[in-house]
């Protein structure tokens, strides 16, 4: 009584050919009244995966709004939110001296570069959105850590990938759900809002 749940199912899907591994997946909502910390959320995740994963080439699949907020400063370098996001992005990717972004049109933007360095992070804004089966395949074949929000993407992650370390963008009305979820998912750091 007075409880809600998620419907888990056996998802059937094929391995995608959208992006080569290794890659991480970020699928969260943009900043607004319900998600005021969205920028902090995706930047914190970028920082964590940059510190945790040591690849020569590491890609990060992101939604279009993250591309927009990075691109706004690269196209028009002015003080403000876009400047702060880009500054933090450069700082938080210190283990990747080359950071490139590909937007939804396939255009490349250099965020930072080091010609003598061989480690590169590529932020991919040209992959999402995808139909559900392809999206689930993106979750499945990404690195262990995945940043998600919403009931559907969380359900898809639970259905396909029981060992994923799920990082969850919490909406204010979902605090109780996230607290209960933290008891069952394999992420020892996921304990509080």
pLDDT recorded at residue 168:
87
The rounded distance, in Å, linking the Cα atoms of 126 and 168 is 22
Q: Which residue has the tokens 């940059």?
A: 50
pLDDT recorded at residue 127:
98
Question: For 31-64, what is each residue's pLDDT tens digit?
Answer: 998 888 899 999 999 999 999 999 999 999 999 9
Confidence class for position 191, pLDDT limits 50, 70, 90: low
Average pLDDT, the chain: 90
Question: Do 59 and 24 contact (CB within 8 A), yes or no?
Answer: yes
Question: For 83-118, what is each residue's pLDDT tens digit?
Answer: 999 999 999 999 999 999 999 999 999 999 999 999
The CB-side HSE value for 148 (13 A sphere, CA atoms) comes to 22
Confidence class for position 4, pLDDT limits 50, 70, 90: low
Q: Which residue has the tokens 């139909």?
A: 131
pLDDT recorded at residue 131:
93
Helices (H), 76-143: 81-92, 132-140
Q: Which two tokens stand for residue 112?
A: 């930072």
Centroid of chain to Cα 186: 18
pLDDT recorded at residue 94:
95
């Amino acid at each position: 009584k007075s409880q809600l749940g998620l419907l888990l199912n056996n998802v059937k899907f094929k391995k995608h050919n959208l992006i080569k591994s290794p890659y991480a997946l970020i699928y969260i909502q943009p900043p607004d009244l319900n998600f005021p910390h969205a920028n902090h959320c995706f930047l914190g995740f970028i920082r964590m995966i940059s510190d945790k994963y040591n690849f020569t080439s590491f890609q990060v699949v992101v939604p279009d709004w993250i591309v927009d907020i990075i691109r706004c400063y690269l196209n028009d370098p002015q003080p403000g939110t876009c400047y702060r996001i880009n500054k933090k992005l450069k700082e938080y990717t210190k283990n990747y001296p080359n950071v490139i972004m590909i937007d939804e049109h396939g255009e490349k933007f250099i965020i930072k570069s080091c010609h003598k360095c061989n480690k590169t992070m590529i932020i991919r804004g040209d992959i999402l959105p995808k139909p559900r089966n392809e999206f689930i395949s993106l979750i499945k074949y990404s690195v262990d850590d995945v940043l998600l929000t919403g009931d559907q993407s969380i359900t898809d992650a639970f259905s396909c990938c029981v060992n994923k370390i799920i990082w969850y963008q919490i909406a204010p009305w979902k605090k109780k759900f996230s607290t209960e979820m933290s008891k069952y998912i394999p992420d020892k750091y996921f304990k509080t809002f």
